[in-house]
Amino acid sequence: MPQELPGYYYDPEKNRYFLLKGPIPGSTRNSSAATASSSNIDKPNQVSEKLNIARKKGKTTAKLIHARELYGKVLTFNKRKCNFQQEYVKIQVSKPTVWKYQNTDRIADGALEQLHINLQTLEGENEADVLVTGSMNGCLSLFEVGKVGQHSDYGVKCMPDRVWPLTTENQAECSKVQGDIWRPTGASALLDGISCIKRIGKHSSPIQHVLIATLGSETLGGALYDLNLETLDFNPRTSILRRISLVAPLNCTIWTADCNSSGTQAIVGTNLGAALVNLETGVQSWVCRSKSDVLSQQFDHSGNVVLCGLRNGAIVTVDVRQRQQGLSARLPKHRVPYPSYKTQQSSRKNVKNLTHQCFELKGNIDPSCTIFMPSSISSLVYLQSYDQYFLASSMDGLIKLYDHRMIQRGAVQLYEGHVNSHSRIQLGVDPSESFVISGGENGNVCIWSIKSGQLLFGTKISNSVPSTVCCAELHGLPDGRNNSWGTWLGSHEGLYFMGLNLS
């Protein structure tokens, strides 16, 4: 009998050894190759079990590649078929590197957004990435990302310190820092407490205008501002305050805002409901009135529908196509029944009475499309690739994925491991819409697979809540990486960056 060799099988007809490889796409596995075995070669199910165990230990990349060489790109995990590339990306995502930037405390706990803009330099017009941050104390700042300090000789450079992993065997890999960030002189301004920063216009083109919402107070309402980034040159003698213009003042608290894809309208969530604002004229009109604050919002892809997340846990779908004339226009009334999660453990009699509780809404709303979560809605995110799916998180720590076409059937996916009790914490989604990222009240940052709901990463990085998040593709990195994305996270304690290299 021929001697058995690991990784090879013997063909008696051809009297030679052949290397075991994955099946050719579109073909079936040869019976002789499928039955050929070795005491040192695992079966696909055995390989999958070992990969699942190794994944928890963070030692899966080599085994995954080995499994691909043996069984092809389609692998079997937990009795289901999985794609090699998807599993490989999950492994990389589960091992991010996190940095905290020095001297960035209290600058990004209100809002943040990374933008790709046209920057004026001495050599002419160049494209650049800037990070716009806003704090609850009203500080607005612009940071240059990537080519740090190249376009300005004056300013403050913020350097990163690695906070995760604390120790690593591969120091060379973790030394690939995303780079310093640079705040040029004059690239900061003081407003009221900043509650939201949103790009105006499509994501694919260089951004020229940014929408900024201020929270307001009991005596002074919030406002919408336009930050003009056209022909930005980081002139040290000019403050960005000159680039900020008032769009519309509102006599109420502004918790959140969003812009439609055309950049013509903004929707604002307030303590009185939701209002539509024309960004050119500043004209305002109520589209939803409620006694429960609107804490989170999101336009759908058409710009005709807005999701509103309320303090009482309701997620309301509002049609904004019917124009209302002014803030005093009448809106149709609705009485929407809602469950009381706090009294589910009460007696049957009390629960029966609670089924008749309702709250009043005004607007172009279909009450049958209203759903509830057990606590205040913290964040809403529509998925761009799947236009009927959206993510929702509530302040009791729940994160769910819904299909708007079957919204009354409940969530299609649940994401466990999020910690929250009362904080407004944003959800972030990576550019490929494969993963959802969020901070927690325990200082952790978690990453889940959107499709499977699997928690891939969950580690404490901060002593305060990472409440703001912005996922972005990376350009012009010092080490030449291109096929990568990263996540900015802001907390009261400072600005963080979570980097991944998927190339």
Average pLDDT over residues 138-143: 95
Each residue of 173-204: pLDDT tens digit? 555 556 889 998 889 999 989 999 999 987 66
Q: For the residues of 207-249, what is the DSSP string, one character each?
A: P-EEEEEE---SSS--EEEEEE-TTB---TTS-GGGGEEEEEE
3-state secondary structure of 272: coil
Q: Which pairs with CB-CB distance under 8 Å and at least 24 residues apart come from 291-294?
A: 291/359, 291/360, 292/359, 293/253, 293/255, 293/269, 294/255, 294/256, 294/269, 294/270
More confident residue, 447 or 166: 447
Helix or strand holding residue 399 (H, E):
strand 399-403
Record the tokens describing residue 13, joined without a space. Answer: 């007809």
Percent of the chain scored above 70 by pLDDT? 72
Q: What is the DSSP letter of 201?
A: S
Average pLDDT over residues 402-406: 91
- Per-residue pLDDT at 151: 56
State the Rg of the chain over Cα.
26
Distance CA 123, CA 117 (A): 16
Q: Where are the domains of the chain?
A: 8-75+82-93, 117-423
> What residue has token string 């599993």?
87
Distance CA 308, CA 209 (A): 24
Contacts of 58 (CB under 8 A, 6+ apart): 94, 95
Residues paired with 77 in a beta bridge: 80
More confident residue, 249 or 351: 249
More confident residue, 438 or 24: 438
More confident residue, 60 or 359: 359
Each residue of 86-126: pLDDT tens digit? 777 888 899 999 999 999 999 999 999 999 898 887 777 88
Longest C-alpha distance within the chain, in Å?
92
Q: Which of 289, 317, 499, 489 is nearest to 392 (CA)?
A: 317
Q: Which amino acid is at 220?
A: L
C-alpha distances out from residue 333 to 275, 284, 289, 366, Å = 16, 20, 9, 11
Each residue of 163-181: pLDDT tens digit? 999 875 555 555 555 688 9
- Per-residue pLDDT at 21: 44
Region 117-423: CATH code: 2.130.10
- Per-residue pLDDT at 187: 92
Record the tokens describing residue 112, joined without a space. Answer: 């943040």
C-alpha distances out from residue 321 to 306, 336, 363, 365, Å = 10, 22, 11, 12
Q: At what angle do helices 44-57 and 61-71 cross, to 10 degrees?
A: 160
Residue 354 pLDDT level (bands cut at 50, 70, 90)? very low
Average model confidence (pLDDT) for the chain?
80
More confident residue, 310 or 353: 310
Average pLDDT over residues 477-494: 74
Is the pLDDT score of 248 beyond 90? yes
Q: At what angle do helices 84-93 and 61-71 cross, to 10 degrees?
A: 180
> What residue has token string 């928690």?
455
Average pLDDT over residues 131-147: 92
Is the pLDDT score of 279 beyond 60? yes
Distance CA 193, CA 307 (A): 24
C-alpha distances out from residue 260 to 132, 246, 266, 300, 306, Å = 19, 19, 6, 8, 10
Q: Please, what is the Cα angle at 259 between 256 and 263, to 5 degrees? A: 155
- Per-residue pLDDT at 54: 38
- Per-residue pLDDT at 57: 41
Each residue of 361-400: pLDDT tens digit? 999 998 889 999 999 999 999 998 887 899 999 999 999 9
Q: Which of 5, 240, 208 is nearest to 133 (CA)?
A: 240
> What residue has token string 């050719």?
24
Record the tokens describing residue 27, joined without a space. Answer: 């073909």
Q: Which amino acid is at 93?
A: V
Each residue of 410-429: pLDDT tens digit? 999 999 999 999 999 999 99
φ, ψ of residue 235 in degrees (nearest 5): -70, 120
Chain-centre distance of CA 392, in angstroms? 11
Q: Please, what is the Cα angle at 430 between 96 and 60, to 5 degrees? A: 40
Distance CA 38, CA 503 (A): 34
Average pLDDT over residues 212-238: 89
Which of these ranges, 148-157, 256-265, 461-470, has the smallest mean pLDDT?
148-157
Is the pLDDT score of 69 beyond 60? no
- Per-residue pLDDT at 149: 58
Q: Which amino acid is at 169?
A: E
Residue 3 pLDDT level (bands cut at 50, 70, 90)? low
Contact 296, 257 (CB under 8 A): no
